[in-house]
């Protein structure tokens, strides 16, 4: 609709948009499919080739289908349906996973293969392993009006391009959550971020979808997805590897896993709190900030003797700590060089340089 005071001809772009909006409001389609026919990919088909996929009403969530009833597909299915975004269809090749999904989510259609989902829904969510996404997209072809997204953090939306036809959209929806357990993941979605890609219209829908499950959508800079995902892998899997190394050293000190988590957990939480409050650089503490080379040597000796599997990880972290301490001005360049030499020698498994 035009606003009062706007005169036709002042702004052709605005006039065209207003006219289109008025025509749409009057139910007039400027690019109509012939009566009784429907679009199928780029082509228009006659009515005897029925076009079955369902359409949501105005203001309603899209009709959703999920391909993959694994960790992410199932948790998203649960979270979305609880949020009033019903899941119409799911596809999983595994009967056990199909039954599990059905036991948690009220779903109308259940398929073994992904293809029939395209005959049913408006928004197709591919929640399958990263390596499977491109090939799967290449085997599917959307209908006009449909959108397809994947949940991979590493892949860009463009890998879905082979499934596109005229009038379709692609995007991605990557929740920054570790999907180890369905209920814990559904809870963790609250307050999490979801990285989204897609053109403005689809991105708006995906932002609403993120909000529906309690999360906040973030749009990534184009081409940055691999770096964003590598950081996520360090924050989740990398952190678990660090915890495992901490627990291994805890065992040397006589602690079991629960004991290590009880003792070092508060230290970890305190460090995270410091980093949030003061910044990462200011949160660094320990021998590397003091140039305490005697302590560093003692650590490396005990690691070599009692936990050689932790040595590489300790050294890699320490090299980074020395750089941070030097940048912060806590460590003089000579002290930093000395520490780097000790660390490099430890990594080469060679004798330390004579001080």
Ligand X SMILES: NC(=O)c1ccc[n+]([C@@H]2O[C@H](COP(=O)([O-])OP(=O)(O)OC[C@H]3O[C@@H](n4cnc5c(N)ncnc54)[C@H](OP(=O)(O)O)[C@@H]3O)[C@@H](O)[C@H]2O)c1
Q: Which residues bind ligand X (CB under 6 A)?
A: 68-73, 92-94, 97, 114, 127-130, 132, 136, 151-153, 174-175, 177-179
Helix then strand count (H, E) for the chain reads: 14, 10
SS3 state at 146:
coil
User: At its nearest, how many Å lie between ligand X and the CB of residue 164?
Assistant: 19
Q: Which is nearer to ligand X, 129 or 191 (CB)?
A: 129
Q: Which is nearer to ligand X, 139 or 201 (CB)?
A: 139
SS3 state at 9:
coil
d(CA 55, CA 201): 17
SS3 state at 130:
helix
How far is CA 160 from each of CA 103, 183, 222, 223, rounded to the nearest angstrom?
30, 29, 16, 15
Q: Which is nearer to ligand X, 128 or 249 (CB)?
A: 128
Q: Which is nearer to ligand X, 129 or 308 (CB)?
A: 129
Phi then psi dihedrals of residue 57, to 5 deg: -80, 165
Furthest-apart CA pair in the chain: how many Å?
88
User: At its nearest, how many Å lie between ligand X and the CB of residue 174?
Assistant: 5
User: At its nearest, how many Å lie between ligand X and the CB of residue 225?
Assistant: 11
Q: Which is nearer to ligand X, 113 or 312 (CB)?
A: 113
Nearest-CA neighbor of 137 among 158, 154, 122, 119?
158
| Residue in the shown chain whose Cβ atom is closest to ligand X | 70
User: At its nearest, how many Å lie between ligand X and the CB of residue 39?
Assistant: 26
Q: Which is nearer to ligand X, 23 or 235 (CB)?
A: 235
User: At its nearest, how many Å lie between ligand X and the CB of residue 317?
Assistant: 24
User: At its nearest, how many Å lie between ligand X and the CB of residue 86?
Assistant: 20
Q: What size, in residues, is the chain? A: 355
Which residues, in sequence order, are bridge partners of residue 195? 174, 218
């Amino acid at each position: 609709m035009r606003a009062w005071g706007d005169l036709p001809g002042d702004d052709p772009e605005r006039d065209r948009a207003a006219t289109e909006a008025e025509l749409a409001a009057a139910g007039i389609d400027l690019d109509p499919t012939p009566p009784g026919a429907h679009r199928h990919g780029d082509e228009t088909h006659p009515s005897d080739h029925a076009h079955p996929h369902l359409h949501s009403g105005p203001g309603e969530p899209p009709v959703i289908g999920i391909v993959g009833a694994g960790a992410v597909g199932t948790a998203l299915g649960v979270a979305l349906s609880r949020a009033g975004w019903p899941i119409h269809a799911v596809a999983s090749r595994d009967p056990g996973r199909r039954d599990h999904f059905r036991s948690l989510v009220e779903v109308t259609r259940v398929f073994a293969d992904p293809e029939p989902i395209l005959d049913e829904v408006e928004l197709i969510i591919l929640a399958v392993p990263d390596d499977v996404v491109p090939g799967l997209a290449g085997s599917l072809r959307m209908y006009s009006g449909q959108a397809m997204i994947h949940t991979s953090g590493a892949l860009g939306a463009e890998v879905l391009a082979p499934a596109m036809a005229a009038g379709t959209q692609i995007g991605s929806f990557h929740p920054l959550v570790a999907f180890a357990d369905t209920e814990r993941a559904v809870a963790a979605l609250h307050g999490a971020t979801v990285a989204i890609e897609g053109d403005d219209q689809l991105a708006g829908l995906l932002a609403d979808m993120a909000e529906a499950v309690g999360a906040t959508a973030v749009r990534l800079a184009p081409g940055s997805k691999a770096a964003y995902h590598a950081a996520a892998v360090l924050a989740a899997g990398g952190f678990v590897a660090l915890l495992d190394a901490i627990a291994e050293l805890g065992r040397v000190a006589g602690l079991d896993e629960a004991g290590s988590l009880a003792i070092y957990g508060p230290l970890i939480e305190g460090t995270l709190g410091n980093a949030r409050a003061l910044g990462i650089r200011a949160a660094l503490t320990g021998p590397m900030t003091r140039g305490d080379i005697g302590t560093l040597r003692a650590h490396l000796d005990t690691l070599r003797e009692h936990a050689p599997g932790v040595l590489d990880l300790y050294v890699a972290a320490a090299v980074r700590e020395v750089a941070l301490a030097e940048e912060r001005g806590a460590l003089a360049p000579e002290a930093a060089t000395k520490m780097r030499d000790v660390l490099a020698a430890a990594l080469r498994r060679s004798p330390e340089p004579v001080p």
